[in-house]
A and B are shown apart, each in its own frame.
Chain A
Amino acid sequence: MTSDTGPFLVAFGAVGVGIAAYLLWIHVRLSQLRRNLDALKRNRGGPAPTGPAALAVPPVATGGDAAASRDARDATAKEK
């Protein structure tokens, strides 16, 4: 290795960063598309969310809320 390797290494680094950025973009896009596809397959209706919204988990009723919603469902069923 000689002393004039500096510019060569800088050029190699720049090209490497460029290719790595393209690779990263592909991977981010892939995971984004996979999430979108999962959401669509679950058939939520309406357009599939993208970005952080795609990762959001819907809240699940627990404790008193869960019991209340169960009672409401039962009441509706009886009415029918």
Chain B
Amino acid sequence: MDSREIAAARSQGVHVAQHVLLAAAVIGPLVLLGYALTAPALVGLSPHASRIIYFHVPLAILAYAAFATTLVASASFLVTAARAWDRVAVASAEVGVLFSVIVIATGLAWAQADFVGYQPLEDPKLVSVIALAVVYLGYLLLRGSVTETERRARLASVFGLVAFLAVPVAYFATDLGSVHPLPTQVEGVGAGLGFGLLLMAPLALYLIWCRCDTLALESEIEDLKNRQKARSGQAEVLSEGLQ
């Protein structure tokens, strides 16, 4: 087997893995939906909140995990200067922001159902999670505002390190007088949340993987264009020299 055959086999393997992950990403949330609709209501929660919790908590954990991935990838980029790490950082940040928005929406729906006279802007948990989403939205906007590739990656990596400070703040905001219950306070929910996490994780992984592919292609195209531009510049200089 020569190197070209090995590369083709590897590419085929990656293709198959991506399709398996896509199937899991589509089927997983639907299975979880069925589970949430049929599982008995949890003690201390309304039936509505009992269903929401199976999506709300796994998505929140996955959003935190995505931001942690951005942190690790940003640090790795600053150490190695490998652009692949920068791509992982931005893809994870995007998915983290998407999931945070869903977590905020599901949290608000839960609060409306279960907490009488709920004041969203007085809840430290909600405010801190909104702040978290805004910080990472800022990370994405910062990337959009810098055109030079290397500078953009370096700046974003530093921002990616600092931005992670908002994650523990959002997580521990529950202790700052929030009405938000801890998962340990809800009886009999542990297994369901683990199941939910297992079913939702492929979606996060698939989104990050595909986004990384897009960014890799964008960077390859940019490199090719730059090389072609440099080559045509050299040709012009040569022809001027000959004249």
B221 touching A4 by the CB < 8 A rule?
no
A30 touching B47 by the CB < 8 A rule?
no
Contact of B52 among A8, A18, A22, A34 (CB under 8 A): A8
Size of the A side of the interface (Cβ < 8 Å), in residues, is 26
Contact of B48 among A4, A16, A33, A41 (CB under 8 A): A4
Size of the B side of the interface (Cβ < 8 Å), in residues, is 29
In chain B, positions 97-118 with a C-beta closer than 8 Å to chain A are 98, 102, 105-106, 109
The interface bits of chain A over 1-41 (1 if a CB of B lies within 8 angstroms of the residue's CB, else 0) are: 11011011001100110110011001101100110110011
B-side contacts of A48, CB under 8 Å: 221
Interface centre among A4, A8, A33, A48 (most CB of B within 10 A): A8
Complex CA–CA separation, A15 to B102 (angstroms): 7
B29 at the interface (CB under 8 A from A): yes
Enumerate chain B interface residues (CB-CB to A < 8 A): 29, 33, 36-38, 47-48, 51-52, 55, 98, 102, 105-106, 109, 203, 206-207, 210-211, 213-214, 217-218, 220-221, 224-225, 228
5 contacts between A and B (CB under 8 A): A1-B37, A12-B55, A19-B203, A23-B206, A30-B210
